[in-house]
């Protein structure tokens, strides 16, 4: 491959990574990092939540940056795998994607993703914490499983949600040593992230309705049709909020006091989630179905930044604002519906 061929390949590869999506994995992973840093600096009575320090030590700024970069990169690397496995339906849903048009060689792209994944694995093993390999492998496997689970109703959403929650677990495990790997607070955070991302990917199925149906992908939108899913879209938009309220107040899943920044960001997140549901109720098909994605992505990623605010209010607020602005900015650079 000559120099122009390499630059063309890299441009097509970068386009296929769909960078505006990277905030999904990046901010999910930041929840894990913020959670670990909170524990590593928290002094209190050891109890049922695990929100106190045992052998945890604060991760260095360099380590945190590497973890976050890996997590932001993870979406794009795995997106290439999705495009490779979903080539059939993309011919209908997104005929101008680089793999479909031939601008991006499918096999070279897969080789590139596998190489980057190897670099991530080696960095995790040699510089970060080897135990973080577990959610890393789980996430990669779930990404492959998702492409097939997507054709079996709600199972696709469940698999996708769990897959993204592995990013939070990776961020937590990669930061440093620990004695306690599972606690109620950690499981609660992972469950909330999984539900928000399952809901986010559910809304993306509206734009793919025709292609998924033609390709035999029986997503929940295909299974019940656009008319029924208009109403599911509205009802489901309240699900993350209801789950958090029940988990926090009934099951005491998050044994941490709610701060004012979290409450404010939480209310804004609820608005974004409900507004997303309304947009898909109003426009279950057509051009606006695609452009509603930016609100959908913001609802999910800003929701994850809100969880960060539980452990680090100032950081959560900064991530919320940055995420809201840049998800929209990057999305507007990829406005071709067919790509």
Calpha distance 163→79 (Å, rounded)? 13
Cα dihedral value 253, 263, 269, 138, nearest 10: -30
Q: Is residue 338 assigned to a domain?
A: no
Summarised one tens digit per residue, pLDDT across range 299-315 is 999 999 999 999 999 99
Where in the sequence is the domain holding 89, given as residue range(s)?
3-331
Summarised one tens digit per residue, pLDDT across range 192-219 is 999 999 999 999 999 888 888 887 888 9
Confidence of residue 169 (pLDDT cuts 50, 70, 90): very high
pLDDT at 334: 66
Report the pLDDT averaged over residues 51-79: 88
Q: Is residue 189 assigned to a domain?
A: yes
| pLDDT of 48 over the 60 cut | no
- Which residues, in sequence order, are bridge partners of residue 316? none
Calpha distance 217→236 (Å, rounded)? 21
Q: Is residue 285 assigned to a domain?
A: yes
pLDDT, the chain, mean: 88
Confidence of residue 82 (pLDDT cuts 50, 70, 90): confident
Higher pLDDT, 290 or 125: 125
Within 10 angstroms of residue 213's Cβ, the number of other Cβ atoms is 17
* Cβ–Cβ < 8 Å for 159, 211: no
- Which residues, in sequence order, are bridge partners of residue 89? none
Report the pLDDT averaged over residues 155-181: 94
Report the pLDDT averaged over residues 146-154: 87
256-277 b/e (C-beta count within 10 Å ≥ 16 → b): beeeebbeebbebbbebbeebb
Q: Is residue 142 assigned to a domain?
A: yes
Calpha distance 135→120 (Å, rounded)? 12
| pLDDT of 50 over the 70 cut | no
| pLDDT of 44 over the 80 cut | no
In order, the DSSP letters of 22-54 are HHHHHHHHHHHHHHHHHHHH------SS--S-S
Q: Is residue 337 assigned to a domain?
A: no
pLDDT at 47: 42
| pLDDT of 49 over the 80 cut | no
pLDDT at 32: 96
pTM of the predicted model, to two decimals?
0.87
- % the chain with pLDDT above 90: 56
Pick the closest to residue 140 from 247, 34, 25 (CA basis). 25
The structure tokens listed for 241 are 């909020």
pLDDT at 277: 96
Q: Is residue 336 assigned to a domain?
A: no
Domain tally, the chain: 1
Higher pLDDT, 323 or 3: 323
pLDDT at 2: 45
- Which residues, in sequence order, are bridge partners of residue 218? 152
Q: How far is CA 249 from CA 44, 254, 304, in A?
A: 21, 9, 19
The structure tokens listed for 267 are 């209310």
Q: Is residue 35 assigned to a domain?
A: yes
């Amino acid at each position: 491959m000559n120099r122009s061929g390499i630059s063309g390949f890299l441009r097509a590869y970068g386009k296929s990574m769909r960078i505006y999506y990277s905030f999904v994995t990046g901010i999910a992973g930041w929840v894990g990092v913020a959670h670990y840093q909170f524990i590593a600096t928290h002094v209190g009575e050891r109890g049922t939540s695990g929100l106190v320090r045992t052998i945890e030590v604060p991760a260095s700024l360099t380590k945190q940056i590497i973890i976050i970069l890996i997590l932001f990169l993870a979406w794009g690397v795995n997106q290439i795998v999705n495009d490779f496995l979903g080539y059939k339906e993309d011919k209908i849903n997104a005929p101008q994607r680089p793999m479909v048009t031939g601008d991006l060689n499918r096999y070279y792209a897969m080789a590139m993703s596998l190489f980057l994944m190897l670099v991530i694995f080696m960095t995790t093993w040699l510089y970060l914490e080897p135990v973080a390999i577990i959610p890393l492998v789980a996430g990669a496997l779930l990404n492959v499983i998702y492409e097939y689970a997507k054709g079996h109703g709600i199972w696709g959403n469940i698999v996708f949600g769990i897959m993204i929650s592995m990013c939070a677990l990776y961020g937590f495990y990669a930061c440093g040593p620990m004695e306690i790997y599972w606690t109620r607070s950690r499981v609660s955070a992972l469950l909330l992230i999984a539900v928000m991302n399952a809901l986010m990917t559910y809304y993306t199925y509206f734009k793919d309705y025709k292609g998924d149906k033609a390709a035999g992908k029986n997503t929940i939108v295909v299974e019940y049709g656009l008319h029924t899913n208009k109403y599911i879209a509205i009802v489901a938009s309240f699900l993350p909020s209801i789950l958090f309220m029940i988990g926090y107040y009934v099951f005491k899943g998050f044994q941490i006091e709610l701060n004012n920044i979290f409450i404010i960001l939480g209310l804004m997140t609820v608005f974004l989630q409900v507004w997303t549901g309304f947009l898909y109720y109003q426009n279950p098909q057509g051009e606006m179905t695609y452009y509603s994605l930016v609100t959908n992505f913001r609802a999910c990623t800003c929701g994850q930044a809100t969880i960060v605010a539980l452990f680090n209010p100032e950081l959560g607020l900064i991530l919320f604002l940055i995420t809201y602005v840049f998800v929209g900015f990057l999305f507007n650079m990829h406005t071709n519906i067919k790509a």
